Amino acid sequence: METLKTRIRTNIIYGAIALLPLAIFVYIAVQLFGYVKKGFESLDPYLGSSPYLGTAVILILTIITLLGICYLFGALVSTQVGALTLDKVHSKLGDIIPGYEIVMNLLRGIAGKKMSYPPALITLLAPGTAVLGFVMEDEGDAFLTVFVPSAPVLTAGAVHVVERSRVQLIEGSSMGAANCIGQWGLGLRKFRGATVPPLLS
């Protein structure tokens, strides 16, 4: 029962972390739509009596404004000062929310921003078989720390410490691995290409 409670709590926390950026984006979009609608009420006489035309104009203006805000924010965080500020915010959230840093790094890798945790085929049991996972830590010794997600959920799974010889990195993106996991392995053959499970002696 305690394990079930822990799993439910962990999934809720990870789900909230994953949905937080989307929730913030939707909230900003809704608020912006309201401001644009209020600011262009004076144009109603020029838009005719059709409510659809007025809504379409406001929606287009909202999208343009939102894209502009995203561009400016992206330009800001690309600067040294902006990047440092964003790192401090993420650091504070990491101290407050368990697992925040891990999930955010995984999402960055999935988004293609960087290869935070490279995907790999990992032999856990019998030779000639492997599971799809991510290399979480590589300290340069004979063992690697890997994370094996439970399909189709990317942020739930098991952590293993395995011999380096049991891990075969895949020449592909974290996004590609996440897509395969989310589809219960569909597309994995194309994603891994010529990469095969580690050949153990």
Exposure string (b/e) for 8-31, b if CB count within 10 Å is 16 or more?
eeeeebbeebbeeeeeeeeeeeee
Whether residue 188 is predicted with pLDDT greater than 50 in this model: the reply is: yes
As a whole number, the mean pLDDT across the chain is 75
- What is d(CA 175, CA 171) in angstroms, rounded to the nearest whole number? 12
Q: What is the pLDDT of residues 44-64, one digit of tens each?
A: 665 555 566 667 777 888 888
- What is d(CA 190, CA 186) in angstroms, rounded to the nearest whole number? 9
Q: Which two tokens stand for residue 6?
A: 């822990």
Q: What is the pLDDT of residues 106-127, one digit of tens each?
A: 665 555 444 568 899 999 988 8
What is the distance of C-alpha 54 from the center of its chain? Answer: 36
Give the predicted TM-score (pTM) of the model.
0.51
What per-residue confidence (pLDDT) applies to 46? 57
Q: Which domains does the chain have, with CATH numbers?
A: 2-98 (no CATH), 116-192 (2.30.30)
Whether residue 181 is predicted with pLDDT greater than 50 in this model: the reply is: yes
- What is d(CA 111, CA 48) in angstroms, rounded to the nearest whole number? 43
- pLDDT class of 91 with cuts at 50, 70, 90: low
Q: What is the pLDDT of residues 1-56, one digit of tens each?
A: 556 665 566 566 556 666 666 677 788 888 887 777 776 666 566 555 556 666 77
Residues 6+ apart with CB under 8 A from 47: 53, 54, 57
What per-residue confidence (pLDDT) applies to 5? 64
The DSSP 8-state label assigned to residue 141 in this structure reads: S
What per-residue confidence (pLDDT) applies to 200? 74
Strand-by-strand arrangement of the 167-169 sheet: 153-163, 143-150, 131-138, 119-122, 167-169
**Do β-strands 153-163 and 131-138 pair in parallel, antiparallel, or remain unpaired?**
unpaired
Q: CA gyration radius for the chain?
A: 23
Residues in the chain, overall count: 201
Whether residue 82 is predicted with pLDDT greater than 60 in this model: the reply is: no
Amino acid at 10: T
Whether residue 145 is predicted with pLDDT greater than 90 in this model: the reply is: yes
| 170 touches 195 (CB < 8 A) | yes
Could you give the dihedral angle defined by the CA atoms of residues 75, 81, 84 and 90, in that order, rounded to the nearest 10 degrees? Answer: -50
| 168 touches 129 (CB < 8 A) | no
What per-residue confidence (pLDDT) applies to 18? 61
